[in-house]
Structure 1
Amino acid sequence: MSPQTLFQVQLVLGYVACLLCFSVYFLPRLKSMERFDAQRVIATVHSFRFFGLVFLLPGVVGPNLPAGFAAFAAYGDFAVGILAMLALLTVRVRPLFWSLVVAFNLVGTVDILLDYYHAVKLGLPALAGQLGATYAIPILYVPVLMITHLLAFYWLVRPQREAAPVLIGNPTY
């Protein structure tokens, strides 16, 4: 199997595995929370996106990783991470918090979509080995980020309902 095919298969399976894991373990817990608390959890996950700067570190990624992909992905992730951290720092100022939640989700979603566009345009799937130690980012971490962005948008536009109760232990009927 070619490196390009392996990368594409792993990318698709990364989304499938993340969706399965998310729907069984994380979504029920997030649904049990108030919208504000659930958005704080999502912001916390995205606050680690500063890690994308690793795409710029020689020795961590290969020398032939397309620079057009690496720089854009790194700085886009960095911007989203900062916006998510700012959202978390402004939880006591609700209008500012909600504005930053919208901002980091918009910027984050656009960043991921443009990263996919640049990756395809620059032939990254055929050069996936150049990702080096960062290979797990697009295969495992990006699917989690995209899923949480979509969920955050869904909860932003959906009317507020009461949080669903969480069952702890085995329910008795």
Structure 2
Amino acid sequence: MVFYAAARIYVLPKLGGWSFRSVMPPILLLHSFRHLGLMFLTRGATYPGIPAQFAYPAALGDLVAAVLAFVSLVAVVRNYRAGRVLVWVFNIEGTLDLTMAIGLATAYGAPVYMGPAYWIPAFWVPALLVTHYITFLVLRGDSSTVEWSGATRRR
């Protein structure tokens, strides 16, 4: 909730005047660090017994999201035609990965095994979900208007 409130107060009102190429690089850079999800597979980063049914899909899904984010970043910064399509692919995969990881963690009781990696679901996942939301808003907007939380603003 805190990340959404911060985005709504400080980020969303300012995005209307920014181009796709200005908005996306910081978000894509942030998501390029999702390789940190591999910590779920690292001895000592979680408690022994973390359910493999959660750890492997969550870790590998994060790795795929990180790679897609970085490839998308290069395409956006270099203004490649495929940039917007790559951002769509990244954003869909990344959102589905986080949603699936939350569901698997809940279904298999993974939270009690998070150990030192507790900060990933406590801090990282909410922040990433908000940036996915922002990315969907940016992607679905046209060149003249974007709808932010019910209000249409001119770009």
TM range (shorter): 0.7 to 0.9
Q: Which residue of 2 aligns with 1:137?
A: 120
Residues matched between the structures, number: 147
Q: Following the alignment from structure 1 to structure 2, what is the Cα–Cα distance between the partners of residues 136 and 28? A: 29
The partner residue of 2:67 within 82, 85, 91 is 82
5 Å matches for 1:1-173? 16-90=1-75, 91-124=77-110, 128-161=111-144
Q: Which has the larger radius of gyration?
A: 1
Q: Name which structure has the greater RCO, CA cutoff 8 Å, separation 6+.
A: 1
RMSD: 2.0
Change (3 A) 1:17 1:130: same
Give 1 or 2: higher strand fraction.
Answer: 2
Q: Following the alignment from structure 2 to structure 1, what is the Cα–Cα distance between the partners of residues 16 and 115? A: 36
Conserved in 2, the CA contact under 8 Å of 1:34 and 1:162? no
TM-score (norm 1): 0.76
> Cα offset for 1:26?
3.2
Q: Following the alignment from structure 2 to structure 1, what is the Cα–Cα distance between the partners of residues 144 and 32? A: 26
TM-score (norm 2): 0.85
Gaps spanning 5+ residues in structure 1: where? Answer: 1-15, 166-173
